[in-house]
Chain A
Amino acid sequence: MIDFTLTEEQEMFRKAAQEFAETQVAPKVPEMEETGKVSLELVKAMAEAEMMALTIPEEYGGLGLGYTARLIALEEISKVSVAAGMMLQVFALGIEPILKYGTDAQKKKFLPGLATGERLASTAVTEATGGSDPTGIRSTYKKDGEDYILNGRKCFITNAHIADTITVLAKDDENPKAFSTFIMEKGMDGFKATHEENKVGMRGCNTGELAYENCRVPKENLVGVEGKGLGVALAAIGDVGRGGMVGCALGLQAACLDVSVKFANERILYGKPISRLQTIQNKLADMKIDLEAGRLLGYRAASMQDKGERSSNEFAVAKYFSTEAAQRAAKMASDIHGGYGCMEEYAVSRYMRDSFVLGPSAGTSDIMKVIIARWTLS
């Protein structure tokens, strides 16, 4: 038989993450919503709570807990703040290419600082000319002696303004079919974070542009084999990126269901709580079904990933399902709240805004379907 329950230890991880979310994340939410800016105190608290160390092996200063534990942490944190979950999800996404394709020297150099949160990570693929189609990017690299010279501009990059270590995808200046991934570091000459986006949701999670002009990157910073960089970037996005979005989406689904149940029990109409109305119950049941199904898909994929199996297709299914379900849940939750759902005082209004931002990150639903269809037809 397949065991679908979390282990006692995993339940304890959930509890640790829950305590962290309730005591350290929740108090920061109003400020993040108000300003739209990253709370550096929250980043520090995440680091102290070892949240950046989850996927990094112990030999590099991490906890080596793998991806199920990460999914648990992301779900619990996103339940309180999707923005915080997103920030954390992309830290791991930035770490993953080094973990998977980095040389021993790169791992020794970068991972310990990333594990403690002394350095923060991100991954930059998307450009104005290419999101769904990463081959459409215009960033270029050019060999110059031992180094590479990078030129270009990335957009919609999570953690752009706070990250110290960013894996960047660029195209060979001479060969439009060859892509490579480089580790770029804050402070490199000619490399900077520029425009900061003002998003409707996930406020307090930084998204912005990166620009690099004749930026010299030493060859020690090339990740994987030169010319095979597309695989490096897409592999990380395929499981860690999608898996992270599943965590954010599950947290949001759970939050939507929680506030809906509470409101439906408290709101009295016709002399009784609206939770007695069948239409409302129907919505609650739909949300519950989606949450249960989303969890099964997400945790199944994560457990495959922990076993070292290929899981990007399973994550594509889970990502599609849970981010779509999170949007449905946010809609139903705000419907249940009636007029109150439109008011800023009610968390559902934030859930609604956050839910729409979940879609494009790590690949749109259309792209998930393209992937799933390819899998199905293969």
Chain B
Amino acid sequence: MEKSCGPVWVIAEQIDCRILSVSFQLIGHGRKLAAALDTTVEAILLGHQMAEHPRQLFAAGGDRVYLGNDPELAVYQPEIYAEIIEKLAKEKQPEIILIGSTSMGRELAPLIAARLDTGLTAHCIDLVIDGNNVLESRIPAYGGLLSIICPDRRPQMATIAAGVFPNPEPDGNRTGDIIPIEVPKEIPQRIQTLKVVREEPEGMDLESATIVVAGGAGAGDPAGWRKIADLAQVLNAALGATRPTVDEGWAALETMIGQSGKMVSPELYIGVGLSGELQHMVGISGAKVMVAINNDAKSPVFEQVDYGIVDDCREFVPVFIEKIKAYREKLKTC
């Protein structure tokens, strides 16, 4: 097949031999970009004991997988990973490289971009091909959307958070070629990952929660924040945060929702004492019902929800909690 340009690449990421969902989501969206450019989607997968895994990448929409399957690659090793991808990219000339905005992706992407002398966009919430066949990355900023392009250099690179694009419907019949990659022998070993520790997250997992209560700067102080946490607990919801509350130290960084944090898609979202800044709101997609509690009737958050409560959250939330409990009691008795 004659292609009009180089392929769309996705740097797939695995943790303990499980490919992350964001990698599939990027392949899924990569297909659309590839269709617009009339080219193929290819994945790079680095790990160990991964021989069977390319199948999943094909099922998600990949046409080809470059597989590095070696004990040296079992966990992320920045210099080796960057070296392999740099060499391969210089040889294969991809048009686009997409990387998940994970801890690894956010470090690896700029290492690759700088080595390839090219641009890289962060925090994208959408990727489209524009009229000149150029990749346009859409980034929320200043209450609007910036489109960033890399017109003259290739590849065009972007990082995207989990949940921005949907999981593609796997198609088990799809196949493709697997091209093995060797681990180059003479790589500087200036960084060694000694150990990777993953802890069970505390509280509900935000990404999979059906109810998310998010608190903002309007909590006022740790005591106010605790009231919002209580609401989350009563609702059996995951507790999310805005950036200022993380800055204040009330909430952990892992619970931040938005452009630089988690993407959530609950059934019910309740935003408490937050202003509905776009950088936070882009983190919520597909919520069936959205509620805001804010004491400022003019707050832009009220333009983005279904139900609004104009009140001091520190006063309202305890009352709301009582009403929820009463409602639950009633359900039990009847």
Contacts and interface: CB of A to CB of B under 8 A. Distances in A.
Nearest to B296: A266
Nearest to A345: B312
Contacts of A268: 297-298
- Secondary structure at the A interface, as helix, strand, loop or mixed, is strand
Nearest to A30: B221
Contacts of A136: none
A346 to B, nearest CB: 11
A47 B201 CA distance: 42
B233 interface: no
Contacts of B295: 266
Interface string A119-149: 0000000000000000000000000000000
A274 to B, nearest CB: 12
A190 interface: no
A52 B47 CA distance: 61
A61 to B, nearest CB: 35
Interface string A254-270: 00000000000010100
Contacts of A273: 298
Interface residues of A, number: 3
Contacts of A266: 295-296, 298
Contacts of B298: 266, 268, 273
A266 B275 CA distance: 13
A266 B218 CA distance: 13
Interface string B71-107: 0000000000000000000000000000000000000
Interface string B295-334: 1111000000000000000000000000000000000000
A146 B179 CA distance: 101
Interface string B278-301: 000000000000000001111000
Interface in A247-286: 266, 268, 273
A266 B298 CA distance: 7
Nearest to B314: A345
B317 to A, nearest CB: 16
Nearest to B295: A266
Interface in A270-314: 273
A273 B297 CA distance: 9
A266 B296 CA distance: 6
Contacts of B297: 268
B32 to A, nearest CB: 44
B57 to A, nearest CB: 50
B276 to A, nearest CB: 15
A153 B296 CA distance: 53
B86 to A, nearest CB: 44
A268 B297 CA distance: 7
A273 to B, nearest CB: 7
B54 to A, nearest CB: 54
Interface string B148-186: 000000000000000000000000000000000000000
A339 B209 CA distance: 42
A268 B295 CA distance: 10
Nearest to B221: A27
A217 to B, nearest CB: 48
Interface string B193-237: 000000000000000000000000000000000000000000000
A273 B298 CA distance: 8
A268 B298 CA distance: 8
A266 B295 CA distance: 8
Nearest to A27: B221
Nearest to B312: A345
6 contacts: A266-B295, A266-B296, A266-B298, A268-B297, A268-B298, A273-B298
Interface of B: 295-298
* Complex A-B, nearest 6 residue pairs according to Cβ-Cβ distance, in ascending order: A268-B297, A266-B296, A273-B298, A268-B298, A266-B295, A266-B298
